[in-house]
Amino acid sequence: MVKQKVVLRFPPNIVEQPTIYMLIKDFDLMVNILRADINPRKEGRLMMEISGEEANYQKAMTWLKKQGLSVMNLEQQIIWRSDRCTHCGACTVICPTAALNFERPDMVVRFEEDKCIVCELCLRACPARAMETLVDNSNFR
Amino acid sequence: MKVNRSIEDINEKIRSGKAVVFTAEEIIDVIEEKGIAETAAQVDVVTTGTFGPMCSSGVFLNVGHPQPRIKLNEAFLNGVPAYAGIAAVDLYLGATSLPPADPANRNYPGDFLYGGGHVIEDLVDGKEIRLEATSYGTDCYPRKKIDTSFYLSEINEATLYNPRNAYQNYNVAVNLGDKTIYTYMGILKPNMGNANYSSAGQLSPLFNDPLLKTIGIGTRIFLGGGTGYVAWHGTQHNPSAERAENGTPKYPAATLALIGDLKQMKPKWLRGLNFLGYGATLQVGVGIPIPILNEEIMEFCAVRDEDIFAPIVDYNRGYPQREAGNLGLINYAELKSGMINIDGKKVPTASLSSYAGAREIAATLKSWIESGEFTLTVPAAGLPSVDAGIKLNTMPQRDPEEGEE
Ligand code: SF4
Ligand code: SF4
């Protein structure tokens, strides 16, 4: 069994295809959609948690890439630069899932990647610019 | 009072490596266990710290003369304007200065990605800084234009001079409106979605010497990772603010003007910040040693978060419109718990000042004193305190077109 959060990016020509239906039907995977959006250029972005048999999962990923989609693990999307973080905590009330939170009573801020849903609110809310993304998501903001 | 120590007594002990030093956080438990009198008899110094955004900060630079000479008239450091209305190649770069090309809030809320605070961080970090400047040319200073670059180590002086730092207490900001607002107190979600505060509470310098009995002009301090001094009382200094029995003010009160040589400071403790929708600023690390001269000073240092109160202020209307009143007082222990109760509503809290940073600063200053490399200074003069009769003024607003009455 695997359980993985991924981000799919769809070029405009396949945004309207029933990709998720295929994942379920042909690859026998369980899909839990976390977030979906289409930007003004008609590119799609889908964040979801996929679980199922390892072999099926790998086949599905290969198939997705063949369709022209890009697939990334969700954890790679948002980066917390601990060297730039001042542990002020301003992000902790902005992050909707408490992926960024205070470790009490030490008052040290930590980033729990697995709780992050890549909403990107922290990118602009952090005054010290300690939150970064390697992927250009600006068209989705 | 049985304890009667002088700064000179303390310095003797520091020099011989025997000074007993605790941070303002550690001392709380020591006093809890031993009581004021015994702790005062044993402890020489308590160190404090704070690491928060402090907009009233900046640096005086002397960049040296080019050949031929120039009297800088309009000057930009990495595109950020520096004040040139002083001598020929002297400049003052303020933390909130913004490039003329910054879209500011035209694209609301603006990002303010690079301002004076960021230039200061880059300078201290040893990065190359571009200087572009123009002038009108004089007989003594003929050059009219310069475009060059420099490193901090190559210029004559770089003196951090912050007109207002280390605020003794600050507002807790909330938003009573129905839209998100973007302030110097951070992002405030509608209908009291969050409450932001900005103080290190029990570790904060001016909460440990609330009546300014030891901190004065010339007090040597930790500033930006190096050493600095208290230069004067800060702007908007308001020691007359209402106080609790333990001497701590319930509202923003005393402030300090700080000075120090930028060349020995560290980028870790001078961080350029950008507040969404508000602007650029500088996060400054400050630590002040409190000499335990007697039991009275010791008692002030015993202060804890639960005994320090701050006012909850609406930044949607109350603060910007300068309306009197607030939504009540709340103590720092509750603020630090992550959730407070305002009129029956649970409101999550966040801080803008770093408590972890404050703790590290107090610990660093403690280690400097313990190692004998940092001695205390006797202030050259005191700062105006509660008895100075200071009243905070607001801006006179009159119509210059209408003649004198
Ligand atoms: S807002 Fe930025 S600097 Fe402050 S704790 Fe969060 S990540 Fe760190
Ligand atoms: S991207 Fe969103 S969920 Fe992830 S850490 Fe930032 S604010 Fe939290």
pLDDT digits (tens, 9 = 90+) for B25-34: 999 999 999 9
One-letter amino acid of B237: H
Q: Is the pLDDT of residue B339 over 90?
A: yes
Nearest CA of chain A to the CA of B269: how many Å?
Answer: 9
Atom 6 of ligand 2, residue of closest alpha carbon: A122
Q: Is the pLDDT of residue B223 over 60?
A: yes
Q: Where in chain A is the domain with CATH 3.30.70.260?
A: 2-73
Q: Determine if the peptide bond prior to B239 is cis (ω within 30°).
A: no
Number of C-beta neighbours around residue B106 at 10 A: 7
Overall average pLDDT of the B391-398 stretch: 94
Q: Considering CB atoms only, which of A87, A90, A104 is closest to B186?
A: A90
Given CB atoms, is B111 within the 8 Å cutoff of chain A? yes
| CATH T-level topology, domain A78-139 | Alpha-Beta Plaits (3.30.70)
Q: Quote the CA–CA distance of B18 and B45 in Å, as a whole number.
A: 11
Which residues of chain A neighbour B336 with C-beta distances below 8 Å? Answer: 104-105, 107
Overall average pLDDT of the B78-103 stretch: 97
Overall average pLDDT of the B374-380 stretch: 98
Structure tokens at B219: 């007090």
Q: Determine if the peptide bond prior to A105 is cis (ω within 30°).
A: yes
- Would the CB atoms of B354 and A87 count as touching at under 8 Å? yes
Query: What was the pLDDT predicted at A136?
Result: 66
Which residues of chain A neighbour B180 with C-beta distances below 8 Å? Answer: none
Say if CB A74 and CB A119 are below 8 A apart: no
Given CB atoms, is B48 within the 8 Å cutoff of chain A? no
Averaged pLDDT score across all residues of chain B: 97
Q: Considering CB atoms only, which of A107, A108, A127 is closest to B336?
A: A107
pLDDT single digits (tens) A12-53: 887 777 888 888 999 999 999 888 888 888 888 888 889 999
Q: Where in chain A is the domain with CATH 3.30.70.20?
A: 78-139
Strand partners of residue B147: B132
Return the domain boundaries, chain B.
7-54+160-384, 62-157
Q: Of A24, A9, A36, which is closest to residue A60 (Cα–Cα)?
A: A24
CATH class of A2-73: alpha beta
Given CB atoms, is B116 within the 8 Å cutoff of chain A? no
Q: Quote the CA–CA distance of B351 and B247 in Å, as a whole number.
A: 23
Task: Given the cut 0.90, state whether the ipTM is greater than it.
Answer: yes
Query: What was the pLDDT predicted at A19?
Result: 85
R_g of chain B, CA atoms, integer Å: 23
Q: Quote the CA–CA distance of B89 and B108 in Å, as a whole number.
A: 36
Q: Of B300, B295, B298, B291, which is closest to residue B249 (Cα–Cα)?
A: B300
Q: Quote the CA–CA distance of B251 and B329 in Å, as a whole number.
A: 9
Active-site residue B140, yes or no? Answer: yes
- Ligand 2 centre to CA of A99 (Å) is 6
Say if CB B195 and CB B339 are below 8 A apart: no
Query: What was the pLDDT predicted at B89?
Result: 97
Q: Quote the CA–CA distance of B81 and B280 in Å, as a whole number.
A: 13
Q: Quote the CA–CA distance of B3 and B41 in Å, as a whole number.
A: 6
Overall average pLDDT of the B73-89 stretch: 97
Given CB atoms, is B47 within the 8 Å cutoff of chain A? no
pLDDT single digits (tens) A118-141: 889 999 999 999 999 877 666 665
Q: Is the pTM of this model over 0.95?
A: no
